[in-house]
Structure 1
Amino acid sequence: MNWTQFLLSIAAVYSLYYLFNILFDMIRSRGQPITDTSQDELVFSEETQPKQVGSDEPSPEPKSRQVISSGPLISTGGVRLQQLFALAQSEVIEYTKAIPY
């Protein structure tokens, strides 16, 4: 048995399997009566009134927190891929590995 015969036999087995499943579903669906789908609906009805949450008093000022800064952020913006290759060729930027295509 070579690879072509093997793959054709696997394809035939899968085709027969799916054909059997489709036919089985079609035969099974014929025997079931059509039912009203509104019976499957479950509804809960609760009448609730909205409540006001909070107080009328003004909130006190939050305590000041000490913030840790990592320094100023400096960014020159993004470049497109073609611009990146042009920068690498003109040796404006340094790259350590060859770029695979």
Structure 2
Amino acid sequence: MNWTQFLLGVIAIYGIYYALNVLYDLLIHRRAPRAADGGNELTFDEDSPPERVIPEPSKRENEPMVTEGKPVISSGPLQSTGGINLKQLVSLVQNDVIEYTKAIPY
């Protein structure tokens, strides 16, 4: 037996197997009654209109925060200039403005 005969035999066996599977599936679908599949559908019976929710302003915005009886000292309003691009990040690292504790893996 050479490789050509072996491969033709394998293809023939696979073709027969595939054909039998297709015929089996066709016969199964003819016998099985087609029922509505209600088990996979999620439905809600109640209809409620959407409601607009308006948040009430907080009364404690200007009061200092108190934790366990001790007042928390605020460091003032936080300000940010936004994000920086990669070129600026490399520049900050080269100028030793950013401190990193371990090497970045490649």
Per the normalisation by structure 1, the TM-score is 0.49
Per the normalisation by structure 2, the TM-score is 0.47
Structure number having the greater helix percentage: 1
